[in-house]
Every structure is written in C-alpha cells, then in structure tokens.
C-alpha cells in the first residue's frame, strides 16, 4: 500500500536542544511488513528494499511499487533479528548492474537445517535479479541465536572493497576472538576473495588461524556503518544496558566488547581506560534506543548538516545530528542534538542521502506498516543584480543569490563557471547568468557589456601654426560615432564633428561616443598659435638660419640681420629650458639637450615671434 503524506515541520529550540529546522516530511511509500534496509540506485533513484522475510522489492524514485527483485524465502532464516538484512549497489553498478544482499541462510530451511551468514550478488535485469552468486558464506557450527547478527554491507569509495558488519551472535566472547567473523567488521574483494592487506591476514584461509577477512573487532552488534568525506569509517553499535555507541573504525582496531560497553567498563561505571581498546566517539546512555542507520552527510540541501553524522534509532524513531570536530579528520564529536522524531512505532533501521541531498529514513524492523520517509526542502534560488545589467567596458555588475547559507555554482550561458561558488558573482562579460543550488536553478539574468570605441587624434605630436595658416585635428571615424571636442577640460561648443580646427594655443582632445552610449577619451594634442614676422617688420624673411637640424650635437643659429634677437628654447610641455637675450651674429647651443623635439622661439626688436621645431637625435 502506498500513501503520500506531507507534513510541514518547524522544530523550535526546546527540551533536548532540538534544533530549529524547517523541512518537509513526506512518506515515499509504506505498507511493508518488516522492511530492514534499502539502497538507492545510482542511475535513477529507485529504491531496493530488503524485507526481513526474504524478499528484495523495488520501488520507483517517486514511491511506485515496481515488483519483487528476488525472493530468498526458501533459504532465508526469518526469526527474531535473523532474516534478510543489508543491501548495497556495486560501485560500478551502471556498467555491471550488481546488487549485494546480506542475510541469514538456512538450508534446508527447517529446524535442523545448516545455518550460515551470507552475502549474495545479483545482476539487475530490468528490476529482476538474475545470476545469484554467493560472495560470502560463513557457516555457523551451532544454531545462530536470535539476535546480534548485525548488519549491513557497503563499499568503501577509496579501495572498492566490500565491508560487512556482523554481530557477535549473542556470544560476547566471540567479539575478542580473531579466529571467527562474529562481532567484527569484515573486508573482502567484490568477488569474495580476501585482500592480502587486511590487518590479520595470514594464510588466506579464514577457518585456520586468524579469520583473514577481519578489518576490526571487539563489537557487540554493529548494526550499520558509513564512510565519510575523508573515507573515515563510522559505525553505529547497539549496547546492552548502559550505552549505545558510535565508533570511528580503524584498521585492526579493538572496540572492547565485552571488557567495556561504550566508554565504561562492563558491569560498572568506571571509565574504560583499558590499553589497546578504542573508546567510542560518542555514546547514548540508558534508556537505550538502539542506534541503527547512519550516514555522513555530504549533500547540499541541508548545509547545516554538512560533514555531520546523521544517525537514527530503532526504539523511538529519533534522528540525531552528530557534529564532528577536528576537520578535516572529523575524528571527534563536539555535540549531538535531535533533529526530529519521525514515528513513535516501529522505529528506524536505515538512513540514506539522496542524490539531491534529501534525507531518507526507513521505518523498519518489527512493524507491519514500514516504509520510507523523506526529509527535504523546497529551494527556489533567485538572483538579483546590484546595478545596471547593461554597461560599458570595463564596468561590471554584482549578481547575488538567495537564499543564503547554501553551496552555489554560477553558470554563464549554461556552462559552469570555474571557481564561481560564492553567494555573489561579479559579471563583466556578455551572457545569461544563473546560479544552481542543490540542483535547483535560479532565474536567468542577461548581462550586456558594450565595447567602447577607439579614440585617436591625429596628428598626435605637438602642432604649431602661424595665422592665417591652420592646423586640422582629425579623430578616427566609425559607424554611429558621435564627437565632442575639448580644450583641456572646457567643452568646445559646437565642436561635434570628427575634425576640429583650433584657433588658439591649448591642449586638445575629443570624446568619441558610440550609439550604445559607450565612450572613450582620446589622446591629447598640444597646439601652439604663433605670431609670425612679416615684411613690414623685418625686411629679410631669412633673418636667421638654424643648422644642422636635426643634430646629435649642438645647433647653430646664424642671425643674418643687424637687429638684436631674443632666443628661447621650450620643451613640448611649454617649459622654458633656456633663454639667450639680445644677441646677434652666430649662436651655438644644445649640447646639454637630450634627444627629443624642442621648440625654438626667435623674437625680433619689434616683438614679432618666429617658432621653429628643433630635433635632437641620439
């Protein structure tokens, strides 16, 4: 039976330090009799669910029943905590379609049948399991007690090995024995062979000497486990009377059961400071609620839980947020709080993270109406512009996303912008921009950056003229260009053509503007207006001669008249470099000048000035 229930929950700070967290709780599907675990298909989000009685059933990502994947009921020992328990997908599922399941095997499936713990591998063929293959088979010499069989199966991302959690079969002494697999975390290759780098590997035969499959030991009932961002192994473990545990798995580690329970010595309240034993990261004290499903949250939907442990319990259905410390090792716990209590009957057995960052929790175990809850948020990203979105280079506009507090990825023209992962992005190029938050896309904003025109005045060097002669300054031309000429900072009224003829000395420039409104200021040209000598004032127009010009040494001025002249030399900025007053005849100068262009001004007795360009070479 499938039902859809949506509840909008806001949990306020109250007893037990409940965190304020708005989210939407939906029931993906329900009506299952004693479901235990589930796995989410990496390609399409289907749910593969283990039913304790021996069936693996499949649901669509939206909660529609697809059918039975495989039925192990003929060999599945379903009694008390025994039955079909864990499930996971192969890391290469998208190519090999392998699915793994952990269960209690009995054959023949009668009271006298031989019992074993098994991991089976199936091939998913359109939602039907085919080619069943035994990957792990652990015979049990005597009848398996009803509880403490664990357990679950998961692949470790870093090494591609399959890890299996198994309880001590209600026999505490098993946990400390390295000669059997009970009360242990096992590590095997995906084909069931044993890695030679396991900590207690000796001869490759798990029934002789050490059980070569052991990764760590000393557990009571490690119900579930997960791997963190840095590949750390975190384990949920059910205590007996005093403490439930969350452990940090270590290669070859001994977790102390039954010498210790949690961080206390077994049977008393003394600290478990026993050399060689590893204490839990954190514990839950009596009354015990049986911690079960566990994940290291890596998603984006709940950034407040990023790199935290999310763990559930079976007795009352609480989901806890366990805050890890000492990043990036995450090998300590700083606090833990209850997120929510999803159900008061049946409790939780498995927690998983969806591809979109949603949190899924199974109401499973001893319930006839089990199913999967989904905790999610509606994230509707919006981006706003902090200024005009049409501008001229080199301007820009700052785009800001909301809501705050999430992980962001900015896109330009639907292509992810490398490194653009902050809440704001500075857009300086033309394109359509959007932001993605947890696979949710924002609105798009089109940004238009208009180019500025070139702006060049020619001739570019210093100009001088003697009226009635003129100098014409020309700006570059282009389609749709507009012009405004300036003398220094003064706007020249009416000077709006591409050319301009100065009538006075000064520094001239032009502003060139395109039809888009983008403009550029040109180079500045120095222009000098010179009062020139005439025949009435000086009989001989050739009153002086300058030579050599250009020169790399000194200039010679030969004054051909008997008049007295005043000589001045300027640089192109108009600065007087030196002055030779009231002289006639021949004058030599310029050794001290560096290479460049200079202006020579010769003034006669009547005040008439003549300007000549001098060129000094290297």
* CATH no. of 7-24+51-345: 2.120.10.30
Size of the chain, expressed as the number of residues it contains: 618
d(CA 390, CA 377): 35
Question: Does an H or E element contain 94, and which?
Answer: helix 93-96
Q: Mapping DSSP to helix (H, G, I), strand (E, B) and coil, where does residue 341 land?
A: strand
Q: Domain 457-529: which CATH class? A: mainly beta
Q: Where are the alpha helices (DSSP H) in 99-155?
A: none
* Tokens 């000598």, residue located: 533
Q: Mapping DSSP to helix (H, G, I), strand (E, B) and coil, where does residue 16 land?
A: helix
Q: Which residues of 177-206 are buried (b: 16+ CB within 10 A; e: fewer)?
A: bbebbbbbbbbbebeeebeeebbbbeeeeb
d(CA 516, CA 524): 24
User: What are the pLDDT digits (tens) for 158-196?
Assistant: 999 999 999 999 999 999 999 999 999 999 999 999 999
Tally of CB atoms within 10 A around 593: 18
* CATH no. of 382-450: 2.60.40.10
CA 417 to chain centre: 11
Q: Whose CA is closest to 533, among 423, 442, 607? A: 607
Q: What is the DSSP letter of 74?
A: T
Q: Which residues of 57-89 are buried (b: 16+ CB within 10 A; e: fewer)?
A: bbbbeebeeeeebbebeebbbbeebbbbbbbbb
**SS3 sequence of 158-227:** CCCCEEEEECCCCCHHHHHCCCCCCCEEEEECCCCCCCCCCCCCCCCCCCCCCCCCEEEECCCCEEEEEE
Which segments of the chain have a pLDDT < 70? 1-21, 343-346, 531-542, 573
3-state helix, strand, coil in the chain (%, to 5): 0, 45, 50
Q: What is the DSSP letter of 560?
A: -
Locate the domains of the chain by residue range: 7-24+51-345, 382-450, 457-529, 544-616
Written as six digits, the tokens of 56 are 């693996």
d(CA 344, CA 165): 27
Contact in structure between 49 and 57 (CB atoms under 8 Å): yes
* CATH no. of 544-616: 2.60.40.1930
d(CA 386, CA 408): 18
Q: Whose CA is closest to 459, among 530, 523, 503? A: 523
* Tokens 């947890």, residue located: 438
Q: Whose CA is closest to 565, among 577, 551, 580? A: 580
Q: Whose CA is closest to 568, among 534, 537, 528, 523? A: 528
d(CA 247, CA 234): 6
Max Cα–Cα distance, the chain, nearest Å: 143
d(CA 200, CA 188): 13
Per-residue confidence (pLDDT) for residue 596, from 0 to 100? 86
Written as six digits, the tokens of 605 are 């007795």
CA 129 to chain centre: 37
Tally of CB atoms within 10 A around 540: 11
- Identical fold for domains 382-450 and 544-616, yes or no, is yes
d(CA 554, CA 578): 14
Per-residue confidence (pLDDT) for residue 537, from 0 to 100? 40
Q: What is the dihedral of CA 432, 433, 436, 441, to 10 degrees?
A: -40
Q: Is 438 exposed, middle or buried (0-12, 13-18, 19+ CB in 10 A)?
A: buried
Q: Whose CA is closest to 88, among 382, 255, 295? A: 295
d(CA 568, CA 603): 8
Question: Does an H or E element contain 95, and which?
Answer: helix 93-96
Before 329, cis peptide (omega within 30)?
no
Q: Whose CA is closest to 375, among 339, 325, 410? A: 339
Contact in structure between 352 and 323 (CB atoms under 8 Å): no
Q: What is the DSSP letter of 303?
A: G
């Amino acid at each position: 039976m499938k039902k859809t229930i949506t509840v909008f929950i806001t949990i306020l700070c109250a007893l037990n330090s409940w965190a304020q967290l708005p989210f939407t709780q939906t029931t993906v599907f329900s009506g299952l009799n004693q479901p235990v675990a589930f796995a989410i298909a990496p390609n399409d989000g289907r749910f593969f669910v283990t039913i304790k009685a021996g069936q693996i059933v499949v649901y669509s990502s939206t909660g529609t029943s697809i059918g039975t994947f495989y039925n192990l009921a003929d060999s599945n020992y379903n009694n008390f905590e025994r039955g079909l328990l864990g499930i996971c997908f192969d890391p290469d599922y998208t190519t090999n379609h392998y699915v793994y399941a952990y269960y209690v095997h009995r054959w023949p499936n009668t009271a006298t049948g031989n019992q074993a713990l098994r991991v089976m591998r199936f091939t998913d063929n359109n939602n039907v399991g085919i080619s069943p293959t035994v990957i792990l088979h652990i015979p049990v010499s005597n009848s398996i007690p009803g509880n403490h069989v664990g357990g679950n199966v998961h692949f470790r991302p870093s090494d591609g090995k399959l890890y299996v959690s198994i309880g001590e079969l209600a026999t505490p002494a098993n946990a400390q024995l390295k000669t059997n697999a009970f009360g242990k975390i096992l590590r095997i290759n995906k084909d069931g062979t044993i890695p030679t780098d396991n900590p207690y590997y000796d001869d490759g035969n798990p029934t002789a000497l050490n059980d070569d499959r052991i990764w760590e030991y000393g557990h009571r009932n490690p119900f579930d486990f997960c791997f963190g961002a840095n590949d750390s192994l975190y384990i949920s473990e059910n205590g007996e009377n005093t403490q439930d545990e969350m452990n940090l798995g270590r290669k070859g580690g001994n977790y102390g059961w039954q010498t210790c329970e949690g961080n206390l010595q077994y049977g008393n309240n003394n600290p478990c400071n026993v050399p060689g034993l590893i204490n839990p990261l954190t514990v839950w004290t009596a009354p015990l609620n049986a911690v079960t499903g566990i994940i290291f949250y890596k998603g984006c939907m709940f950034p407040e839980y990023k790199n935290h442990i999310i763990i559930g319990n079976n007795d009352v259905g609480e989901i806890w947020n366990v805050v890890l410390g000492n990043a990036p090792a995450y090998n300590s716990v700083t606090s833990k709080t209850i997120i929510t209590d999803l159900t008061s009957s049946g409790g939780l057995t498995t927690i998983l993270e969806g591809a979109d960052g949603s949190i899924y929790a199974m109401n499973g175990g001893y319930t006839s109406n089990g199913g999967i809850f989904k905790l999610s948020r509606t994230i509707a990203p919006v981006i706003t512009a902090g200024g005009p979105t049409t501008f001229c280079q080199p301007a820009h506009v700052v785009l800001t996303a909301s809501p705050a507090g999430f992980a962001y990825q900015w896109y330009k023209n639907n292509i992810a912008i490398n490194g653009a992962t902050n809440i704001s992005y500075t857009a300086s190029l033309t394109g359509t921009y959007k932001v993605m938050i947890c696979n949710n896309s924002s609105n798009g904003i089109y940004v238009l950056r208009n180019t500025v025109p070139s702006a060049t005045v020619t001739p570019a060097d210093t100009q001088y003229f003697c009226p009635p002669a003129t100098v014409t300054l020309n700006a570059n031309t282009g389609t749709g260009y507009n012009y405004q000429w300036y003398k220094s900072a003064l706007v020249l009224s009416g000077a709006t053509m591409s050319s301009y003829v100065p009538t006075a000395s000064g520094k001239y420039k032009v502003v060139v503007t395109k039809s888009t409104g983008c403009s550029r200021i040109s180079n500045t040209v120095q222009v000098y207006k010179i009062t020139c000598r005439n025949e009435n004032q000086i009989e001989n127009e050739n009153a002086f001669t300058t030579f050599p010009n250009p020169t790399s040494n000194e200039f010679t001025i030969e004054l051909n008249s008997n008049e007295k002249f005043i000589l001045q030399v300027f640089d192109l900025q108009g600065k007087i470099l030196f002055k030779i007053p009231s002289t006639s005849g021949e004058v030599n100068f310029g050794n001290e000048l560096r290479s460049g262009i200079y202006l020579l001004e010769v003034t006669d007795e009547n005040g008439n000035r003549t300007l000549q360009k001098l060129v000094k070479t290297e």
